[in-house]
Structure 1
Amino acid sequence: MPGKTPSDSIIGDKLNHIFYSAEGRVIVTIHATNIYRIQQFFDACDRHNRKVAIDGKYLERVISIATREGFLKIPQHILLNWEKSLKCPVQELAILSSGSDGDPLTPMSNLADHIHKKLRLKENDLIIYAASQTPSNEKAVTNAIDRLMSQGARVVFGKDVHVSGHGSEEDIKLMLQLTRPKYVIPIDGEFKMMKAHQEIAESMGVQPSHVFLLDKGDVVEFSNGAARSSDSVPAGHLLVDGLGVGDVGNIVLRDRRLLSQDGTVIVVVTLGRRTKRILAGPEIITRGFVYVRESEDLLDQANHIVSNVLSKSLTQHVSEWSSLKSGIRDSLSRYFFDKTKRRPMILPIIMEF
């Protein structure tokens, strides 16, 4: 972003104005590690004679440590435990909330969906989302705010209650001017952001060959004061499924996605080992594809297609199970798509007797 990132200090006056206009409870969802913003919240509560209840074990732990080490100065008379806060008049109460891992979105979303363990919306509630929207959570934040507003809550968010923790263009230039690095490795953010960082570094005199734009797994090797690109290492998402770690790959995910979208069709047929004729079936079983009682004609025709494919293949002395299954799968796939515009996963099962 061009320009300079505003100072956190400007938020204090804005919080005071917001607290002054609040008629009911003030509920602030915040990053648990944003110590300066937490201090501003307590200062506003003290100034406007509001008691404070803290929601979130991670947040409680951060506040306790920061207070003990002298980074937070909290008037003890304004703190309430949760039980006492329930008896406090709404116009005298403020609640500071954060998720189990310190995020501000979870408590706000849970409050909007009526699944918060401790909180329920009340008349005249004021919700403050004291965090930035990022490309990864923008939709979720917007949806949560919409749901809260549709239920009558007043929600304050954006530049009135938060400034970015990321430096803008002039801040990055100042950092480069003060540190004068030999090498620059932009990290975090989208590629266009790292590219912009590269251009800023080069404009400040860093050699183009000394700026590294890295992808996941890329390695920069430092040796004797010099840096160079090296080999890549395996990197990326590691999926945990039940007791398995890393054993679910793209093919399994693709199959699960297909099952969730268009369902599955299982075709069971029994062939004679010697006669090579159909002894039983075909029987078609569906799950998540169509409602059987309303699709009898569709499935009857599918039965005929399977029978014809098998009869034709056996007449031509094609007895390899893989060829028979492939023929069934291809024929049914075309038929179902023509009739329903859906592509269920088709699993042929052939038995010999």
Structure 2
Amino acid sequence: MPRDLRALPKANLHLHLTGSMRPSTAAELAANYGLPALPAVPIEPGVVHGWDAFQARYDTARAAVRSAEDIARVVREAVEQDAADGVGWTELQVDPTSYAGWLGSPEAVVEALLDAARGLPAGVVLAASWGADPEHAERIAALAVKYAPDGVLGFGLSNDERRGRVGDFVQAFRLVADAGLARVPHAGFYEGAWHVRECVELLGATRIGHGLTALQDPSVVALLAERQVPLEVCPTSYPPFGVAPALTAVPALLAGGVPVALATDDPLLFGTGMVGQYEIVRQACSDADLATIAATSVRSSRAPASLRRLMLEGIQGWLGG
């Protein structure tokens, strides 16, 4: 009988706040504010959509998160949903300026997020968009540094990486590096292996969101392996965009010595939680590989050391059981 993937301890390192919402919560919040429901974007095998279709859906959902109470609900439910799938630590990524218009300031958003995460097995990563100007990114990076003592774990760049140049964000990442925070840009989703390399070499990335195009260049695979930079791979995020499939990429990355952590990205949009991501990869990987992936997610997290130890012991128990 196959081992129960829900019993495998794991961390979710790549989860966006709006995209973490339950469909029922998104619908309820939209109705409360008299907003339209999410536009339908069918997820079907072989059907490829453009980025704009999913971005429009994300923007519609985000417009329904308008108060600290809404944020607290979304955070709580995201952690609960992850916990049901055996996730012992969740890192939520948020651009605080996206909600600042409703809460009054980016600082108010960050404080609402930290209040919501307090006492939960979860942390907050702030992010700017690849389409933002460098000064905007630096302001968010400075916020990450300011609130690091209160629980902000890192800084990243999200959205479509084709919208910005890696070199423009060096200063923002220098700020967070000097503060010892995690640096977690999205890279190598649409752009080639060169993009992953630049994020590692220019931005000092400690993890990469996605990054599957690294496989286009063996020297980039070797760089990731040498520096042990984990890739946050989200299997259900790729087929709708027609980009590199995780099912073949994950075994190749593991064979190349690249650390891999599976994550959910935007369950609201793609309809799959953490166990579903592991089930997909299980088609091409052994349970020993899955245990390695789970251990990578835990070691690469910013969870408290005591929790990391407990989860790693649980992973060994799952594999030995």
TM-score by length of 1: 0.25
User: Which has the higher Rg, Structure 1 or Structure 2?
Assistant: 1
TM-score by length of 2: 0.27
Higher helix share: 2
